[in-house]
Amino acid sequence: MNSVAQYLSKNAREYGIWIALVLIVILFQILTSGLLLIPNNVASLIQQNAYVMILAMGMVMVIVAGHIDLSVGSIVAFVGGITAIMMDSWGVPWYLAVLGALVAGAVIGSWQGFWVAYVGIPAFIVTLAGMLIFRGLAIVIVGTTVAGLPRPFVNISNGSLPNALGFVGNLDVVTLVIGALGVAALVWAQLRTRRAAVKHDIAVDPAGLFWGKIVLIAVFAGYMTFLLANSAGGTPIVLVLVGVLIIAYTFLLNRTVFGRHIYAIGGNLTAAILSGVNTRKTNFMIFVNIGMLAGVAAIVTTSRAGAAVAAAGGNYELDAIAACFIGGTAVTGGIGKISGAMIGALIMGVLNMGLSIMAVDAAWQQSIKGLVLLLAVALDLIGKRRTGR
């Protein structure tokens, strides 16, 4: 019992994020008289907040390495404008325009990464300049709304997977199959990780907590699957895109040399340099990566709106940063997980949707989200001080 209590105390932050998500969902489910978890609202929650999840994956890597990126919202507007113009004015096929958006995002990331990694200008200054530069360019190139985009492109964020397997009652079978495979893959991955840790004499969760966590996550995922299967379209296409990115970036951070170098730089820069880590190259690639993910977010945002506008991406960088900090990414760098950032993004999404359903004024919504961010960072710092003592 003592070992379990000690473990919970040590990992209170990680478990607290999950508990906070569940409590916030329950709270807004009550306050909205059950409207929050209507199947169609759950599908909309994913579609409306996919950009936060996508940007948060890149922002985790930036913050873990000890940097910050204030430019992603402006990059989303600029790249979204380029993408829409390619399709609307230049007649470029939508799939080539999507590829062009990814290239444009990576080029912008390379530009900013050069100043940070090789010139040595702090990322805060470089990306603040980028925020102004690319917002201005977005206003220049998207003088008026660029609409009338191809239907396949619009379906990236608004469409759902085809119902190829029919229905069981009102439930979309494709969604049920995807959900079952996802839960099975999660359980397998957790068991594989636990066995590897035990093999190498690394401390693991107590068995009761481990299986309790697995059961709770499986129940949560199963319930979300049930709700999506009941929605009008089933599985949103953008959910598949986000799911693939989550798997890829979790592997990148946890299983590759590049990921280990990011944690090393954020944990102790001097030690990383002395250990032979190429900090310049790593920092450069971090910004190339988040630039490319901003391109993905631009695709998703422009597709969702069905048009490009110069004002797109407003406060996106703040949403992504908030999702990371709420999800347990350390302000001081060196600590952070993709999974935590995704939970943080879901918390932000539930707050947005719940407050919108309750018809809370947009100004109050901003204030509430700011307060949540402040509390999350404060709890992180308080926890670190207690651990230090």
Domain boundaries, given as residue ranges, for the chain: 14-159+236-388
Cα 111 to Cα 114: distance, rounded to the nearest angstrom = 5
pLDDT at residue number 13:
64
Of 264, 251, 262, the closest CA to residue 192 belongs to 251
> Which residue has 């102004």 as its token pair?
132
Cβ atoms of 303 and 154 within 8 Å: the answer is yes
Question: For residue 367, what are the contacts with CB-CB under 8 A and spacing of at least 6?
Answer: none
Of 211, 210, 236, 203, the closest CA to residue 50 belongs to 236
Token representation of residue 2: 């003592």
Cβ atoms of 190 and 211 within 8 Å: the answer is no
Question: For residue 13, what are the contacts with CB-CB under 8 A and spacing of at least 6?
Answer: 328, 379, 380, 383
Cα 47 to Cα 239: distance, rounded to the nearest angstrom = 7
Helix or strand (DSSP H, E) at 167: strand 167-168
pLDDT at residue number 3:
54
Cα 327 to Cα 30: distance, rounded to the nearest angstrom = 24
Cα 302 to Cα 83: distance, rounded to the nearest angstrom = 8
pLDDT tens, residue by residue, 85-116:
999 999 999 999 999 999 999 999 999 999 99
Token representation of residue 80: 């979204």
Yes or no: is domain 14-159+236-388 CATH 1.10.3470?
A: yes
Question: For residue 233, what are the contacts with CB-CB under 8 A and spacing of at least 6?
Answer: 43, 159, 160
Token representation of residue 329: 């990414």
Helix or strand (DSSP H, E) at 250: helix 237-255
pLDDT at residue number 296:
97
pLDDT tens, residue by residue, 235-264:
999 999 999 999 999 999 999 999 999 999
pLDDT tens, residue by residue, 322-334:
999 988 898 888 9
Cα 280 to Cα 110: distance, rounded to the nearest angstrom = 12
Measured CA to CA in angstroms, residue 275 lies from 218, 268, 278, 325 at distances of 40, 11, 9, 28
Per-10-residue mean pLDDT for the chain, 389 residues long? 53 72 90 92 93 96 96 97 95 96 97 97 96 96 90 95 88 93 88 84 79 85 92 93 95 94 94 93 97 97 95 91 90 89 91 90 86 78 64
Question: For residue 346, what are the contacts with CB-CB under 8 A and spacing of at least 6?
Answer: 21, 49
pLDDT at residue number 175:
94
Phi, psi angles (nearest 5°) of residue 64: -60, -35
pLDDT tens, residue by residue, 375-387:
877 776 776 666 5
pLDDT at residue number 4:
54
Of 6, 30, 8, the closest CA to residue 350 belongs to 30
